[in-house]
Structure 1
C-alpha cells in the first residue's frame, strides 16, 4: 500500500516528541507499509535536508533503546520531506495538492498536529483544494475544542468537508496495549463477564497521575486545565471501555455505539453535585523524587493569581441496570507522588467470611503506565504452622497474579501513537472517537466548567509530590472506600 502522511505542525512539540518517534519505531519494526512518504509542513523556511538535520537532533532526546543509529536515521529520513506552508493561503494548499498528485498514492493521511482553533480553516482549505476525495483521511489531535460549542463548530466544519469515516479523532490512550487487553479481558474471555456488574463490583477507580509539572507549556495549560486536558477525553474514554455493554461485533461503529450509550447514561452534574462530588486542586512548591520543584503559580508563562486546576478528582455514576449504585472515581493531576495510570476494579467482599481477619476484598488492577499489565489481587491460605487462629480457622494473606504484557509478549509490541498511526494508514476506526461521543463528553463536563466559573476561588492547593488535596481522599472515604495508595 503506497501512502502519503502529512503533518500540519511539522515543527511542533507533538510531531517531534511523539509522532516522528512513533513512525520511526514502526519503520524499525517493519510495520510501516512500503511505498510511503512523510511530509512535514510548517511556516519555517526549510528544505528536506535542513528539516532532516533538525529532526535528527531532536530524536536524540528519545530513550536510548528507541534512539535511531546514524545508519537507521539515514535510511528512515529518506521517507521524510518538508514544505513551508502558510495555513491561511489557498495557493499553498494547491502546492500541497500538486505534491500529493505526483504519484497519486493509495492513501493520503493528513494529521492536524496544530492548535484546535486552526482545524476549521485547515479543513475548509483542504476541501477547497480538492484534498477531501475518498483516498484522503484527516486525523484530529485532541483537545477538540474548548467547550461544547467550539467542539460542535469544529465538527460541523469537518463534516462539511469530510465524511465521518474519513475523520479520525485521536485519543492515544485508546492505543495503549493495556486498553486493548481490557477489551480482550472482557469480551474474549468468559471469566469476568458474570462478575462485571453492580452485584459483584463495589467501585471502579481510574487514575491518570503525572509527576511532571507544566514545564514550558504554562500558557497553553493555563487556558486548558486538568478537566479539559485529561478528564473530558482520556479518563472518560477509559470509563466507557470499562462500563460498555458487549458490542455486537468488532466493527468500529458497533463499539462506538456502546461507548456512546455509556456517556449518555452518566448521571448529569448540577451546581449542587459539582460542589459535593468534584474536587479541583493546584500544586504548590514541594518535592518530587527528592528534588525541590516550583509551585504552579511560579511556573513560566503562568499568569499571576491563576485559578486554573492542575488536579481533578470526581465521583460519578452510570445510570443503567449493569452499574446502578456503583461509584466511578476519576482522578488526574500534575506534580503528584508518581507517574502512573491505572484502572482499579474493586470487588465486593464475600457475603459471609469464615476466615478471621479476611476483610480485604479482591481487586483487578489494569496498569496502563509506566508498566503495562494486569494484577488480580486475591486472598490465600499460607498453610503453615501458626497460620490458624485459636479455633483452627486458616488466616488468609493477600496474594496477586501478575501479568506483565512486555514479558508475556516480548516481541510485536507497539506504542500507543505507533498503533494509532498504523491504524489511520490502514483506515481502521475502532480506536478513534466519533463526533457524537466527543460532543457528549463535552456536554457532560460543561456543568462542571460552568459551576467553576461561578466560583473561581474554589480551587484547593496541594503540595507537589503528594496525591492531591485532602478533599480527594474525603471524596472516596465518604462512601467507605480509599484510593489505592491509602489502602
Structure 2
C-alpha cells in the first residue's frame, strides 16, 4: 500500500524524540512505499532532512537501519515554509505523490498554539479523500479552546479521519487492561465497588522540567499529564464492557466514564487535590536546580510540577471508589503504574496480623503485571505471609509511536481520543485549575529527588 506522511514541525523535539524513532520498526509501512515529507521553516534541503531522519531512526534501532527503513529515508523529501501557509501545505501534500484514495497523514507535531491556524490553512487546501489529520496533546488550553479546535476539525474532516493521539493508549500494559478485564471470567466480576477499595494511576518521573521549562511554565503537571494521559488511562480502568472492540464502541464506553466523573467544586478541590513544585536537590546523584531557576520560568505564575487529584466516578459500578491520579517531576524514582487495591476480607480468622490487601499492579514502563496474595506461612501454617505473582510482559515492537503510526495509516481510531473525550477532560480539570489559581490549595514545595510534598 502506498501512503504519505507529512510531518509539520519536522525539526522539533516531538518529531526527534518520538515520531521519527517510531518509524524504526514499522515494516508494514515502509515496505509498502511510505513517502515521508518533512515541513518546517528551518534552512534544510532533502539531504539534510534525510540525514536527520537516519540519525533519529538509527538511534532507536541500536545504530542499525533496516534496509527497508533506509529506503524510506532515501526517498524522504523536505519542504521549507510556514506550516500555517496553505501554499506550503499544498506543496507538502503534492510531494507525497500518492493517489486521491491512498492514505495520507498530516501530522501536527507542533506547539498546540499552532493547531488552529494550521487547521484553518488546511481548509483552504484541496485535500485528497484519504487524508487523516493527527493532533498531539494538549487538545486546546481549556474547554473553550478544545470546543473551538474540535469545531474547526469537524468542518475540515469527518470524525473518523481525525486522530487526537495519545501514545499512552498504545502502551502494551494499557492495551492489556482490555484483555485482562474482558477476556477473563475470574477478574471482571471483582471489578466493582463491592470488591475494589481504591485505584491509583501514577506517573512519577525522575526527569526534571528544565529542558522544557519555557513550555512547561505555560502548562504544568495538571494540564500536561492529568487532563489527557491519566484521564485516558482512567477510562480503560473504569469503562463498562463494550459490545465489541470496534472503534465506535470503545469510544462510547470511554466517553461514558468521563461524563460520569463528578465535576469538582471548590470544597472538593481543597479536600481531594494537592499541588507542588520542586526546589533544588539531587536526583540519582545528579544535582538539579529548583524549577523556578530554569530559563523561561516565571515564579509568580505558580505553575506546579506535581499534581495529585482524587476523582469520583458516579456510576453504579464505581460509586464510593476513589480514583487517585498523580504525576510529578524530579522525584526520587520513576513509578509508572496502575494499582487496583481490593477490599479487606470480611473477617480475619488467622493468627497474627491481618492479611494485606490484594493489589493488582500494572506497570507501564517496563511493562509488568503483579498480584499480591496472602498464603499460609511456611513456619506456621495458621499464620499468613504475602507472595507476589509477577510477570514481565513481552516488549512492544514496534514502539507505542510506531503502533500509532500504523493505526493512523490503517484508519484505526482506537488509539486516539474523540472530540467528546477531549472536552470532558477539560470539563473535569478546569474547576481544579480555577480553584488552584484562587488559592484554594497551597503550592507546596518538595526537594528534587524526594517522594514529593511531605
Which residue number in structure 2 is paired with residue 437 of structure 1? Answer: 421
| Equivalent of 1:380 in 375, 378, 382 | 375
Residue pair 2:210, 2:291 contacting (<8 A) in 1 also: no
1:450 aligns with 2:434: yes
Instruction: Give the structure 1 partner of residue 324 of structure 2.
Output: 329
Shift of 1:31: 5.7
Q: What are the equivalent positions in structure 2 for 1:36-435 lying under 5 Å apart?
A: 36-59=34-57, 62=59, 66-69=62-65, 74-101=70-97, 103-104=99-100, 106-131=102-127, 133-356=128-351, 357-369=353-365, 371-383=366-378, 387-388=379-380, 394-406=382-394, 413-435=397-419
Offset at residue 265 of structure 1 (A)? 0.9
Deviation at 1:117, TM superposition (A): 1.8
TM-score, with length taken from structure 2: 0.95
Aligned-partner Cα distance in 2 for 1:222–1:400? 41
CA separation of 1:2 and 1:156: change in aligned 2, threshold 3 A: same
In 1, the alpha carbon distance for the partners of 2:401 and 2:328 equals 22
Residue 465 of structure 1 and its aligned partner are, at CA, apart by 1.1
Contact 1:177 1:415 in 2 (8 A): no
Q: What is the alpha-carbon distance in structure 1 between the residues aligned to residue 62 and residue 178 of structure 2?
A: 28
What does the per-residue CA deviation read over 1:350-384, in whole Å, with 9 as the maximum and x for residues that have no partner?
11122222331111001101x1021011112233x
1:463 aligns with 2:447: yes
- Residue 379 of structure 1 aligns to a residue whose secondary structure is strand
Contact 2:37–2:76 (8 Å) recurs in 1: yes
Secondary structure of the structure 2 residue equivalent to 1:325: coil
Structure 1 residues 14-53: aligned runs within 5 Å: 14-27=14-27, 32-53=30-51
Deviation at 1:97, TM superposition (A): 3.8
Do 2:2 and 2:98's aligned partners in 1 also have CA atoms closer than 8 Å? no
CA contact 1:374–1:403 (8 Å) conserved in 2: yes
SS in 2 for 1:224: coil
Matched residue SS, 1:53: helix
- 1:405-455 C-alpha deviation (Å, 9 max, x unpaired): 12xxx6x73321111111001111111100011101101111011112212
Q: Give per-residue Cα distances to partners, 1:18-41, cap 9 Å, x unaligned.
A: 1001112224xx564512111111
Q: Secondary structure at the match of 2:24?
A: helix
**Residues 182/66 of structure 1: CA separation in 2 closer, same or farther (3 Å cut):** farther
2:270/2:440 contact within 8 Å kept: no
Contact (CA 8 Å) 2:35, 2:72: kept in 1 or not?
A: no
Partner Cα separation in structure 1 for residue 55 and residue 410 of structure 2:
30
Q: Counterpart in 2 of 1:3?
A: 3
**Contact 2:269/2:440 (<8 A) preserved:** no
SS of aligned partner of 2:137 = coil
TM-score by length of structure 1 reads: 0.89
Q: CA deviation at 1:124?
A: 2.0
SS at match of 2:220: helix
- Alpha-carbon contact 1:178-1:367 (below 8 Å) kept: yes
Q: CA deviation at 1:98?
A: 3.0
**Displacement of 1:208 after TM fit?**
0.6
Consecutive unaligned residues in structure 2, runs of 5 or more: none
| Deviation readout 1:214-251 (Å, 9 max, x if unpaired) | 13211100000000000000110111100000011111
> 1:302-335 deviations in whole A, cap 9, x for unaligned?
1244410000111111111101111111100000
Q: Compute the displacement of 1:457 (Å).
A: 8.2
Q: CA deviation at 1:264?
A: 1.0
SS of the residue corresponding to residue 218 of structure 2 reads helix
Using the alignment, how far apart are the partners of 2:299 and 2:114 within structure 1?
28
Structure-2 separation of matches of 1:152 and 1:33: 39
Q: Secondary structure at the match of 2:415?
A: coil
After TM superposition, give the deviation of residue 54 of structure 1 in Å.
3.1
Q: 1:430 to 1:58 in 2, by over 3 A?
A: closer
Q: Distance in 1 between matches of 2:322 and 2:390?
A: 26
Q: CA distance change for structure 1 residues 335 and 121 in 2, over 3 Å: closer, same or farther?
A: same
The number of aligned residues is 453
Q: Residues of 1 paired with 2:79 and 2:261: CA distance?
A: 45
Greater alpha carbon shift after TM alignment, 85-94 vs 319-328: 85-94
**Aligned to 1:425, what secondary structure does the other structure show?**
helix
